[in-house]
Amino acid sequence: MSLPTFLERYGTEAQCRDALRQMRWPGGFRCPHCGHAGYCQLRGHPVLQCNRCKRQVSLTAGTLFARTHLPLRIG
């Protein structure tokens, strides 16, 4: 992949998060605990919260980006 193509796809933090979300949940979000598809994005926190069991899931949990405090563009 060329650098311009790479930057077009992953040049912003939002694009990186969208790509990671698509790779992690290609069919849409499913809670790893109860399997429910409904969720909400917590304001001010980078986690998804299941609407059924209220468990919170980080987009980066279980990936090589887990536990890093660096932006995805840099990590």
pLDDT value at 66 more than 90: no
Tell me, what's the pLDDT at 42?
87
Gap between the Cα atoms of 51 and 61, Å rounded: 19
Gap between the Cα atoms of 65 and 47, Å rounded: 14
pLDDT value at 74 more than 80: no
Tell me, what's the pLDDT at 73?
79
Tell me, what's the pLDDT at 75?
63
13-60 per-position pLDDT tens digit: 899 989 999 999 999 999 999 999 999 998 888 899 999 999 999 988
